[in-house]
Homo-oligomer: A and B are copies of this chain.
Amino acid sequence: MAHISTEHEVLAAVFQVRPGRPPATSRKPALHVLLWERALDPEKGRWALPGGHLGPDEDLTSSVRRQLAEKVDLRELAHLEQLAVFSDPDRVPGPRTIASTFLGLVPSPATPELPPDTRWHPVSELPAMAFDHGPMVEHAHNRLVAKLSYTNIGFALAPSEFALSTLRDIYSAALGHPVDATNLQRVLERRRVITRTGTTARSGRSGGRPAALYRFTDSRYRVTDEFAALRPPG
């Protein structure tokens, strides 16, 4: 078979847990994804993931970092990893373009400055999306949900120190369903994913007890599953 040439783009699904927007009936924190509005055809007015074409002298990770830097301050990104490749021959009009997708996470409550064409959208209420970027967000969200269950990836969504009620809100938002704070604490402490700082914060509720503060034990991504039978000896 003849060798064909294709174009290659990198696209990032960058997530953050943020308060619901003011007009919403609830200000409950929700998982948001960073999107920009296309000003030109094709798909003018639709919303797209940040990213763009691979340059001649860069690999995929350098490329996505360069292109994300145009949208957000990279120091705000606590985690960035390669996800799936989208390679359907007809996924975009024009020359065949293969897309490598990335997962990026911004801790709350950071408030990165955004360019005027760019906005956070709740994952549960995506606007009209360009090309195959809707399925890309869904795929990245599914990977995030899975990784929350067997890794410490929550560190990249949480503040550096937090009360358990804050962590519960972050996990609930990222997973898309309610999580019990006591169960969450039990599981994450048993796996040494979170550690008590020894300090407390005043509860937001008047008269409430001061809440114990926690932090993630590691701020480097790792599999946390306690499958001790499979660890190397010693």
Q: Which residues of A contact B (CB under 8 A)?
A: 1-8, 52-60, 82, 84-85, 87-89, 95-96, 98, 100, 146, 148-150, 171, 175-180, 183-184, 186-187, 223, 225, 227-230, 232-233
Contact = CB atoms under 8 A, between A and B. Distances in A.
B179 A229 contact: yes
Given A53-B3, A150-B223, A8 B229 contact: no
A165 to B, nearest CB: 15
Contact of A54 (B6, B149, B179): B6
A60 B101 CA distance: 14
Contacts of A3: 7, 53, 95
- Copies of this chain held together in the complex: 2
Contacts of A232: 175-177
Given A8-B8, A89-B59, A233-B177, A53 B227 contact: no
A233 B178 contact: yes
19 contacts: A4-B7, A5-B5, A5-B6, A6-B6, A56-B96, A57-B89, A59-B89, A60-B98, A82-B85, A85-B85, A87-B100, A146-B223, A148-B230, A149-B223, A171-B230, A175-B232, A177-B232, A183-B229, A225-B225
A177 B234 CA distance: 11
A184 B231 CA distance: 11
B56 A4 contact: yes
Contacts of A53: 1, 3-4
A233 B180 CA distance: 10
A177 B232 CA distance: 6
The 3 closest A-B pairs by CB, nearest first: A183-B229, A5-B5, A150-B150
A149 B230 contact: yes
Given A85-B100, A177-B233, A149 B225 contact: yes
A8 B96 CA distance: 11
